[in-house]
Structure 1
């Protein structure tokens, strides 16, 4: 009975993956069929087979271009989320700070990132710094909003119990508020880990000599559409890998039922 239960549980977990792959296969087959029927030139829209061939032929170029993009996205991810969590904690403990600077955060969020990137390039130069800052900015707001909500979603009775036990503010924060906020924070991290890749690529569009963003621009100017699509596929793979890593970390860190805490 235990063996059959394990098989059933595995089938339940594997079904979404199998169905997702099946849907992707159907979409690619339809794409390939339409290219063949409509006889679309490869420089306009390549077939999946052309993209796969470009990935194979330019694999070394795509891999080397991924390194700076991953570095910029990772550093921006760390910078943006760490600052967002610290600012969220200050908002929870200091209402005045929240009233003063929360509107500022909203205003910064409303500015298009493609408008901020050229300014950062002028200020910080053409190195890695503006790309990291762009990636950090694009990660900052989702984590800030979710962290504030998570820090305030704590059970008031737990806070009161900690006060009765003469716990300090630091102990209340680490043992109660942070534990309550972790599900919210990880939800934000899943969003920001994909968005930081976009931020790094946008930064590379403004000015770079390497990276996936640079490769995208170069492929577009050269009308190398298969390599352009291969670059897009590489960027998507980087973002999906980041999402998977954060999901695994979430399962490792959060070992309790998040619904029971919130």
Structure 2
């Protein structure tokens, strides 16, 4: 155990990945033997999935990745924009906090799979550019609660003495927000955006499942499932996870660059 703790972070990540792949491979072979299924059943081997990825090729996956990423990015922007505006309004007008939190909790508690069909009926099919409005809406809905809560926690964590100094010099709540709270809450806001990035991508994929999209990973997953191409389904799922993970890592790097003090490093 002590030797494992001394390993660098990248080494533990590699070991974890190898363990997961090994367990996946063993599970696939065990299922095949227990039910008498041939490879290509419900749980394909990692080798079969990788083979399918290379067989389909970059030309198959790239248009779907671009479409889903575009929808997720638009939803990410608007969902987080409304969340940040709401958090700022709560700090300027504290009396609306209870109502604002009720709205945020409602958006979190409503199952996406339940509201998706309603959103599709209201929004309709994709526009001329192939963007699914339902996917954008569900992406925005997926990030709203996380960003509202994370932003409020961070913005409220400002040092009370610093806030008092602003008040003594005649500053109002907006001045406190601009001079103190934004700086103090920046790490929490960035952490909320980091968590929201993969959530937006998942929301976009689910939105494509509801219909109205011409292309996207959700559309490709639905088509692969309908044709019983299990290897492709797993390959698309892995691609989706990788893209969502890239979004998470990207915002983690942004947080380290913009707010280095939150990670124990000095700004230069």
TM-score normalized by structure 1? 0.88
Structure 1 pair 16/255, CA: closer, same or farther in 2 (3 Å)? closer
1:157-190 CA distances to partner (integer Å, 9 max, x unpaired)?
1012123344454442122111111111122112
2:91 touches 2:173 (CA, 8 Å); kept in 1? Answer: no
* Residues paired across the two proteins, number: 248
CA–CA separation in structure 2 for the residues paired with 1:34 and 1:166 = 66
Could you tell me which runs of 5 or more consecutive residues in structure 1 were left unpaired when the two chains were aligned.
1-10
Find runs of 4+ consecutive structure 1 residues off by over 6 angstroms. none
Corresponding position of 2:115: 116
Which residue of structure 1 lines up, in the alignment, with residue 129 of structure 2?
none
Query: Is the 8 Å Cα contact of residues 183 and 258 (structure 1) preserved in structure 2?
Result: no
Post-superposition offset of 1:226: 0.6
Counterpart of 1:7 in structure 2 is none
Equivalent of residue 142 in structure 1, options 140, 146, 169: 146
The verdict on how the C-alpha distance between 1:219 and 1:140 changes in structure 2, with shifts beyond 3 A counting, is: same
Return the offset for 1:238. 0.6
Output the aligned Cα RMSD.
2.0
Q: Deviation of residue 197 (structure 1)?
A: 0.8
Q: Which moved more, 1:237-246 or 1:41-50?
A: 41-50
Specify whether residues 258 and 166 from structure 1 end up closer, same or farther in structure 2 by C-alpha distance, changes over 3 A only: farther
State how far apart, in whole Å, the 2-side matches of 1:56 and 1:46 are.
15
Assess if the C-alpha contact under 8 Å between 2:107 and 2:144 holds in 1: no
- 1:214 maps to 219
CA spacing shift, 1:31–1:98, aligned 2, 3 Å = closer
Q: Over residues 38-69 of structure 1, what are the superposed CA-to-partner deviations in whole Å (9 max), with x where a residue is unaligned?
A: 44421322110010011111122112111110
What is residue 91 of structure 1 aligned with on the other side?
Answer: 90
User: For residues 210 and 164 of structure 1, do their structure 2 counterparts lie closer, same or farther at Cα, with a shift above 3 Å needed?
Assistant: same
In structure 2, stretches of 5+ residues that fail to align are 127-131
> What is residue 82 of structure 1 aligned with on the other side?
81
Residues 258, 234 of structure 1: alpha-carbon distance in 2 compared, 3 angstrom cutoff: closer
Report deviation, 1:33: 4.1
In terms of mean alpha carbon deviation, does 85-94 or 39-48 score higher?
39-48
Task: After TM superposition, give the deviation of residue 28 of structure 1 in Å.
Answer: 1.6
Instruction: Compute the displacement of 1:152 (Å).
Output: 1.2
**What's 1:43 paired with?**
41
